[in-house]
Amino acid sequence: MQENAITVQSEIERALEILLRSGVRLTGSSRTDSGVHALQNYFHFDTEEEISERKLYNINSLLPDDIVVKCLHKMKPKNNGALPHARFDATSRKYKYFILQRKDPFKKDTSFYFPYKLDFELLQQAALVIKAYTDFTSFSKRNTQVKTYNCSILESEWKIENEMFIYHVRSNRFLRGMVRALVGTMLQVGRKKISIDKFHEIINARDCSLADFSAPAQGLFLITVEFPEDFFSVKSAPDEHF
């Protein structure tokens, strides 16, 4: 979480601290850059308080209008005795990036207005290229404290929906700024500013100065976070699991 910044995490922590009368530290399943939207995310925290359906209502009453807690799961240790972890137990995350080609003031905060001619087939070729690689050093922002730049891309494709170009990507993990860099660089392929061969070269170079990080945050959405099939199988009492 960004220090001293107002974030979704900080707002939920503030609400929980008021409600539970004690400090709460959340651990998120996925981090996003400032300005990126999330249709779904998960956090875990520890508390000795009973969390009832009424408390869910109270949490949401303390949150700003653009944040909502949809459900709470009371978790128990896994079969191996380890505690569930929102980040490390997640198996994949899916993002979508929305490209708007016609100016629309009602979508300016949720898409990237890009009024240049794009070759859809070239975009799709570039998306398929991404699935052939695992090292995405070229698409990670500098000063990122990670042990590896390897990611397993499970889905990578462009679609045209409602007159918008939408990039779908799902992976076991993502690097800082990775999706926006992938989109920005693929847009250069779609505009025929760089070739597919050059796109390969950028990936193989493992040099982030060659990628295009200009795609703005507002076009990016975290869509889903997936966990093992039985991760939430332990049912709580009706007023604690909803």
Number of domain units in the chain? 2
Residues 109 and 203 in one domain: yes
- pTM of the entire predicted model: 0.88
**Distance, CA of 123 to CA of 130 (rounded, Å):** 11
For residue 196, tell me if it sits in a domain.
Answer: yes
**Distance, CA of 219 to CA of 113 (rounded, Å):** 9
**Distance, CA of 3 to CA of 10 (rounded, Å):** 10
Left, alpha or beta for 182 (phi > 0: left; psi -120 to 50: alpha)? alpha
Q: What is the pLDDT of residue 3?
A: 54
Residues 41 and 142 in one domain: no
Residues 105 and 159 in one domain: yes
For residue 242, tell me if it sits in a domain.
Answer: no
Q: Give mean pLDDT in consecutive 10-residue pieces for the chain, a chain of 242 residues.
A: 72 93 88 88 88 85 94 84 89 97 95 98 98 97 87 98 96 96 98 98 97 97 93 51 30
Residues 100 and 205 in one domain: yes
Domain that includes residue 207, residue range: 94-224
Q: Is 33 a catalytic residue?
A: yes
| CA count, 13 A, side-chain hemisphere, 135 | 12
Residues 178 and 109 in one domain: yes
Which of 87, 120, 151 terminates a domain? The answer is 87
